[in-house]
Amino acid sequence: MDKSQNQREDISSGQAVLLGALASGVNVQTWAVLKFTFLILGVCLVAMLGLAFSSSDSTMIFHVLLLVLLAGVLFFLLSGFLAETGLVTIEQQIQEMGMDPKDQNEQNKKRS
């Protein structure tokens, strides 16, 4: 097993999502959390839309439909952006932020 595979196993999903939020680019775990968040948002908006239709309030129906449209457009734009730029690996994000243990060991050796 090589070092990058070992390093990947040392990082939990929560740490990968946090790293994806802080570093440039989007890793696979962060994109999975974003998709899950949009799924839950969609479920909530569908429930709100059902309640709006049951109350027969046209203003509320319009507002909820506007929210559904905004969420759909945001998800579509994010998906398109990631299709253009692509996903990055966790290792790339770690190296970019200077958190690579290999680099830290080299810096400590230089200081000594």
For 20-41, the pLDDT digits (tens) are 777 777 888 888 889 999 999 9
Measured CA distances, 58 to 25, 49, 62, 73 (Å): 41, 11, 6, 22
Torsion sign over Cα 14, 16, 19, 25: negative
pTM, 2 dp? 0.70
What pLDDT shows up at residue 76? 95
**H/E element holding 51?**
helix 28-55
Q: Which of 41, 35, 49, 30 is nearest to 87 (CA)?
A: 30
Mean pLDDT within 38-58: 92
For helices 58-85 and 28-55, angle between their N-to-C axes, nearest 10 degrees: 160
What pLDDT shows up at residue 40? 97
Chain center to CA of 81: 13
Mean pLDDT within 5-28: 73
What pLDDT shows up at residue 103? 54
Mean pLDDT taken over the chain: 81
pLDDT score of 44 more than 70? yes
Check if the beta carbon of residue 27 is closer than 8 Å to that of residue 19: yes
What pLDDT shows up at residue 112? 59
For 91-112, the pLDDT digits (tens) are 887 888 777 766 555 555 566 5
What pLDDT shows up at residue 15? 79
